[in-house]
A and B are shown apart, each in its own frame.
Chain A
C-alpha cells in the first residue's frame, strides 16, 4: 500500500533518517517506536508532505506520489500530536469536518452537513458538542474531532503522530478503543508513531523500532515480544514487563 524507499533527511548536518526502506500493507496497523528525536515524527511528516526528504521516494499502491499534493493529499491523512492546537479556533467541530468534505468534494453539497454530523456522532461527538469550538472541548473530544476530520477525507492511510501523548489516561483509553473500532470498520492502513510501547501493543499488528536514523527492528507484534533482539527493542519490552508487574 505505502512504500518508502531510500528515505533520508538531515537537520543542520545531523542525519535523522538514513536511507530508510519501510512499508505499510493494506489494512495493516504499524507502530513506529523510538527515542525522542529519533526521527519518528519526521518520517510521519515526510509522508504527508510537511517535511521534504533529501533523497528517496514514496509510492502509494504502485504510483510514486508527491506527499501532500494531488490525490495523495486526500488518501493519506494525518492526525497531529496535540489535537487542540490543530483545530481552528474559528471553526466548530462540525465546521472542521465540513471543511474537509467541501475541500475534497466528498458527497453531495446538500448532504454534507448531515454527513459531518453522522461522522462525528459515530465517534461520540453528539450534535450539541459538534456545534462547539475547540476551546470548549476536552482533549479527548478534540482528538475525536480531529479523527473525524481525517476520516471525512475517506483516506486509505492514516498517519497518527503520538495520538495519545497530549491526553490523560482516561481519554487515552477512549481514543485507543475508538481507533480499534475505526480500523475494524474501515480496514484503514495506519502508521502510529509513539514513544510508548503500551498503546502499540493494543493497536498495532507490527512494530518497527527507529534508532540512529535506521529501522533496527521490524517484526509482527507477537514475534516482536518473543524474539526482538535489538537492545532498544528489549528495553521497550522490559518496560512493559515492569508495568505489568507493577500492576
Chain B
C-alpha cells in the first residue's frame, strides 16, 4: 500500500539548506576576512619597508606615493605596520579562542556526559572563575605573568573559558535529550557512538556560530589590552598597540589612528557577520522544526 505523508511532516520536514545563496552578510564577512588574509600575505609580495624600521626624518608624514598610508611618530610605514599586524592581531585572537576551546570543550563535555557529582564539581569550579569580572581576572593573570601579548592571550583565555564550558555543557545536555538520541541508545548504539554520531553533530553547528561571534569579542579585548599597553609590546605591530601610539598625535596625523581603528572595526565586523550568517544558515539546516 502507498504511504501518505503525515500532514505534520510538512511542518517537520527539513528545509533544504540554501547554502550561501541570498546571504549577503555572510558573503561580506567572508570577503572581509579573506581580504585580511590577502593583506597578511601581501607583505611578502609588495615592496614595503620593514614594519619596525624607524625613519625620524619622515615622521608623521601624511599618505603619499612612497608611504600610501603615511608614517607614524617614529617615521615607520603605517601600511607596513598594518600588514605586519594582521598575523599578530588575528593570530592572537585565533590562539586565544583555541586556548579557550581547549579548556571549555573537554570541561563542558565531561560535565554533561558524566553528570552527577562530576558535573556539579566541574560546574562549581567554573562558577568560581565566572564570579570574577572577566577583565579583572585577565588583568590579574597578565599582572602575574608580566605585560606581553602571550600573557594577554593566557589571561583572556583563563577568564573566558568558563562561559564557553557552560554553554557547551548546555548544548550537549539538550542534544542528549532528543528522542532520536535515546532511541539510538536503546537500539544498540554504544555510548561512544551515541556521542560521536548523534550528539556531536547537533553540538558542532551552534558551536561554530559561537566561535565566530566570540572571535570578534576576543579580538576586541586583545586590542583593548594592547591599547592599554599591557598586550603586545613595542615595536611589535598590533592594531590595539598602534591605536595607543596614535593617541597623542590624532590632531596632527589622524591616519595613524584611523588605519588601525578601521582594521579592528572591519575584522570585528567580519567575524560578527560570519557568525550571524552561519547562525541563519544552520537554523535552516536544523533537521526538524520543533
Q: Which of B171-195 contact A (CB under 8 A)?
A: 178-184, 186-190, 193
B182 in complex: contacting residue of A50, A96, A146, A170, CB < 8 Å: A50
The answer to whether A84 touches B4 (Cβ under 8 A) is no
Contact A99 B179 (CB under 8 A): no
Residues on A close to B: CB < 8 A? 48-50, 68, 73-74, 77-78, 80, 82, 84-91, 96, 99-104, 133-136, 138-141, 146, 149-150, 152-153, 166-168, 170-171, 173-174, 177
| Structural contact, B197 and A138, CB atoms closer than 8 A | no
Is B106 in contact with chain A by the CB < 8 A criterion? no
Q: How far is the CB of B7 from chain A (nearest CB, A)?
A: 7
The reply on B201 being an interface residue by CB < 8 A is yes
Kindly identify which residue among A87, A170, A171 contacts B180, using a CB–CB cutoff of 8 Å: A87
Of B4, B186, B188, which is in contact with the most chain A CB atoms at under 10 Å from its CB?
B186
Given A90-B197, A139-B9, A167-B6: A102 touches B188 (CB 8 Å cut-off): yes
Beyond A99-B188, A136-B14: 17 further Cβ-contacts under 8 Å? A73-B186, A77-B187, A78-B183, A85-B180, A90-B201, A99-B189, A101-B188, A103-B189, A135-B288, A138-B4, A138-B6, A140-B3, A149-B187, A153-B187, A166-B8, A167-B6, A174-B1
For A96, what are the chain B residues with a Cβ–Cβ distance below 8 Å? Answer: 187
How far is the CB of B124 from the nearest CB of chain A, in Å? 26
Query: Is the interface on chain B under 10, 10 to 19, 20 to 34, or 35 or more residues?
Result: 20 to 34
> Is B169 an interface residue when CB atoms closer than 8 A count as contact?
no
A44 to B197 alpha-carbon distance, docked (Å): 27
Contact B187 A99 (CB under 8 A): yes
> Are A168 and B7 closer than 8 Å at their CB atoms?
yes
Flag whether B198 is at the interface (Cβ < 8 A).
Answer: yes
A141: B residues at CB distance < 8 A:
3
B287: chain A residues at CB < 8 Å are 89-90, 134-135
Hey, which chain A residues are within 8 Å of B7, CB to CB? Answer: 168
Give Cα A68–Cα B8 distance, bound, in whole angstroms: 31
Q: Does B20 contact A (CB under 8 A)?
A: no
Q: State whether B288 touches A78 (Cβ < 8 A).
A: no
Determine how close the nearest CB of chain A comes to the CB of B245; give it in whole angstroms. 51
Contacts of B201 in A (CB 8 A): 90
12 contacts between A and B (CB under 8 A): A80-B183, A88-B180, A88-B197, A88-B198, A89-B14, A89-B180, A90-B201, A99-B184, A99-B188, A99-B197, A100-B187, A140-B4
Q: Flag if A135 contacts B6 (CB, 8 Å).
A: no
- Contact between A85 and B4, CB atoms less than 8 A apart: no
Q: Give B residues with C-beta under 8 Å from A.
A: 1-9, 12-14, 178-184, 186-190, 193, 197-198, 201, 287-288
Nearest CB on A from B211, distance (A): 21
Across the two chains, which residue of chain A brings its CB closest to B197?
A: A90
For B183, list chain A residues within 8 Å (CB). Answer: 78, 80, 86-88, 146
Given contacts A138-B3, A174-B3, contact A100 B188 (CB under 8 A): yes
Contacts of B187 in A (CB 8 A): 77, 96, 99-100, 103, 149-150, 152-153
Min C-beta distance of A225 to chain B, whole Å: 27
**B13 proximity list for chain A (CB < 8 A):** 135
A84: min CB distance to chain B, Å: 6
9 smallest CB-CB distances across A and B, nearest first, come from A103-B188, A89-B287, A139-B6, A140-B3, A135-B14, A138-B5, A86-B183, A138-B3, A100-B188
**Given A85-B288, A89-B180, A103-B193, A135–B12 Cβ distance below 8 Å?**
yes
Interchain CB contact under 8 A, B12 and A84:
yes
A80 and B178 CA atoms in complex are apart in Å by 12
Asked if residues A170 and B186 are in contact (CB atoms below 8 Å), the reply is no
A51 and B178 CA atoms in complex are apart in Å by: 15
Give Cα distance in the complex from A96 to B194, angstroms. Answer: 12
Q: Would A168 and B4 count as touching, CB distance under 8 A? A: yes
Most buried by A among B6, B179, B187: B187
What CA separation (Å) do A138 and B6 show in the bound complex?
Answer: 6
Contacts of B8 in A (CB 8 A): 139, 166
Find out whether the CB atom of B2 lies under 8 angstroms from the CB atom of A170.
yes
Nearest B residue to A73, CB-CB: B186
Nearest A residue (CB) for B5:
A138
**In whole angstroms, how far apart are the Cα atoms of A103 and B193 in the complex?**
9
Task: Indicate if the CB atoms of B179 and A85 lie closer than 8 Å.
Answer: yes
A80 to chain B, nearest CB (A): 6
Closest Cβ of chain A to B12, distance in Å, is 6
Q: How far is the CA of A102 from the CA of B182 in the complex (A)?
A: 17
Inside 8 A of B188's CB, which chain A residues have their CB?
73-74, 99-104, 153
A153 vs B186: C-alpha distance in the bound complex, in angstroms? 10
Distance, CA A146 to CA B178, complexed state (A): 16
Give the CA-CA distance A170 to B7 in the complex, in Å.
12
- Cβ-closest chain B residue relative to A96: B187
Residues of A within 8 A of B9 (CB): 84, 138-139
| Residue of chain B at shortest CB distance from A99 | B189
